[in-house]
């Protein structure tokens, strides 16, 4: 252990990627890991290690499997899904404002409809995984007491939006219009969709 209580190599080096992956995985407390959880672990590595933390989802899934943890896809289908859908989902989860969150959900919904029409079940599931990841990210920020209370309230709202879309995508945008005009929304977000610089 170092002075901060983090595990180290015996030579005093920083924890290896494998150690960090397993620590992050144990912190989830999950019985199995989906692409969304693996993506979160990947982002945690980048946050901890910078550019050196950039790691493929394949590698993370392999480390989890080696440690006896269940991964919710085969490596082959994971690589296939990544290759086929990465371009569609590149830089999709941006929601620093309510307007961006709405646009993010519009784009997710468009992709979902496109994959539905093409009967691409893998694409549909990838959209759902990205939406679940978006909801978890928003929830994480909403729970972070270091974040400005106004921003936390926005992220709590956005997490709710993702949850509603995941449950009832067909009714979501009608619901959202009603929600945006509700007295509670107007009180909580008096500037509504006026964007900050």
Residues 105 and 171 in one domain: yes
- Average pLDDT, integer, range 109-122: 89
Cα 158 to Cα 95: distance, rounded to the nearest angstrom: 8
133 lies in some domain = yes
Q: What is the structure's pLDDT at 85?
A: 58
Residues 62 and 107 in one domain: no
Give me the domain span that covers residue 46: 17-71
Q: How many domains does the chain have?
A: 2
Angle at 115 between CA 112 and CA 119, to 5 degrees: 135
Identify whether the C-beta of residue 154 lies closer than 8 Å to the C-beta of residue 190. Answer: no
Residues 93 and 184 in one domain: yes
Residues 102 and 170 in one domain: yes
Cα 132 to Cα 166: distance, rounded to the nearest angstrom: 8
138 lies in some domain = yes
Helix (H, G, I), strand (E, B), or coil: what is residue 161? Answer: helix
The position carrying tokens 């919710």 is 72
Cα 119 to Cα 192: distance, rounded to the nearest angstrom: 37
Phi, psi of 28 (to 5 degrees): -70, -35
The residue among 156 and 121 whose pLDDT is bigger is 156
Residues 28 and 101 in one domain: no
- Average pLDDT, integer, range 43-62: 83
Report the DSSP beta bridge partners of residue 32. Answer: 70
> Is the pLDDT assigned to residue 155 strictly greater than 90?
yes
């Amino acid at each position: 252990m170092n002075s901060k209580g983090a595990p180290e190599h015996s030579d005093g080096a920083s924890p290896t990627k494998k150690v960090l992956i397993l620590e992050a995985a144990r912190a989830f407390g999950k019985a199995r890991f989906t692409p969304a959880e693996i993506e979160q672990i990947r982002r945690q590595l980048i946050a901890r290690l910078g550019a050196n933390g950039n790691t493929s989802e394949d590698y993370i899934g392999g480390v989890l499997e080696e440690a006896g943890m269940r991964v919710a896809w085969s490596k082959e289908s994971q690589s296939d899904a990544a290759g086929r859908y990465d371009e569609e989902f590149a830089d999709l989860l941006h929601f620093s404002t309510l307007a961006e969150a709405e646009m993010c959900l519009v784009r997710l919904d468009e992709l979902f409809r496109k994959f539905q029409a093409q009967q691409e079940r893998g694409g549909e599931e990838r959209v759902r995984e990205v939406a679940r990841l978006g909801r978890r990210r928003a929830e994480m920020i909403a729970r972070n007491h270091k974040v400005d209370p106004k921003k936390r309230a926005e992220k709590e709202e956005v997490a709710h939006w993702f949850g509603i879309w995941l449950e009832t995508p067909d009714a979501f945008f009608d619901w959202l219009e009603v929600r945006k005009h509700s007295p509670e929304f107007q009180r909580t977000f008096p500037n509504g969709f006026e964007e900050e610089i």
